[in-house]
Amino acid sequence: MGRYANKVKTIVICGLIVAVILLGIVLFEFVLLKLLGLQYDSFGALVIFFLIYLFLEVPLSLITDNIPKALKTVGIIESSKGWLSFILDIGLDYILIITIDYFMETIMISWQSALLFALISGIISRKLKEDDPEPPMIDSKEYEDLHNEFEDYTQNKTRLSEAAKGVMNENVIKKPREKVGNFMIKNHEELYELLLAKRNSGGSVTCSFKDMNQFVSTTTNEIAIERFLKELGLKPKRIKGDWKRIDQSMAKKILEYILSMNMAYDIELETKPLANMLSNYFLNEFLSNAMYYTNGDFDEDDGFFKLRAWRSITDSTFDTGVLVIDKNNIGILWAEDND
């Protein structure tokens, strides 16, 4: 009962604060409009005028405030606090007052007075916005961080919702132990051991994950990738600047290919029956907005997927795979074969 009373008390206090602020704004606008020549037949008509004005002005101002911010984010305008914002504020106030005056016979104000009121309100609004931070550009690191935080929040909300329904789907909740075929995988080490044991092509396979926090001093993804690959004994300088960005569906095709076939002789591997599940397991370790890279070009003629050309990062005759990076982790699943 006490907790319920505290919640009610908090809501009431917040409501009173909002009411006081709105009342202050209304009184200021009333005095200003009165000085500019606002006339009304009765106090009731005046109350109705301001109720309609506030009811329309609050949601519409959210739109006019965010239009310049959106244009600034995509780089169309240089500042969200410039002339466009000023004109939108003036236009909104002027159109609202003139429209309400037109439909309410008990309220009278000239268009000149309405325009002057809108100009004064616009100047005050512009002054109040001076200290507001500019929104991040769409290609900036700050925007990417905000986007990633939103993606994380959305994913976590989905997982919690599905968990509450008792849905244990591998794409929603990662189970402590994952079943791949007849094998149980509980961590990255067991995944790597399974790949080594089953991808019996005579070549080698690299599968590794690393926390991006270990690259805190790194300014770009390219530098993080180079450091990560060097630690694994690979040779990123051979391909530096020539990574191919791919989407998740293409990444899955490449992984299924290297887990199914010997690239030198097109011989099926022991891992082929597990290729789909192993590639899913690897890709599910990353956020949905992760970035995917590879080193090769592939042919998909008549449903046959095959490596056509590549920039090697090993000393083997054939090597390709997928490198994935998100804001939390970086990982690679890479195969090598020799003829």
* Residue range 18-60, pLDDT digits in tens: 888 878 887 888 888 888 888 988 989 888 988 898 889 888 9
- Separation of alpha carbons 286 and 326, rounded Å: 7
Residue with tokens 């008549």: 302
Where in the chain are the domains?
Answer: 2-128, 136-173, 178-337
Closest CA to 327 of 293, 276, 290: 290
DSSP H helices, 74-217, are 83-103, 111-128, 141-164, 188-198
pLDDT at position 320, please? 96
CA angle 313, 315, 316 (to 5 degrees): 100
Closest CA to 212 of 225, 199, 203: 225
Closest CA to 322 of 268, 272, 250, 271: 250
- Separation of alpha carbons 229 and 243, rounded Å: 13
Say whether pLDDT at 156 is over 60.
no
Q: In the 8-state DSSP scheme, what is residue 123? A: H
pLDDT at position 148, please? 66
Token pair of 1, please?
């009962």
Tell me the pTM: 0.49
- Separation of alpha carbons 153 and 111, rounded Å: 48
pLDDT at position 232, please? 92
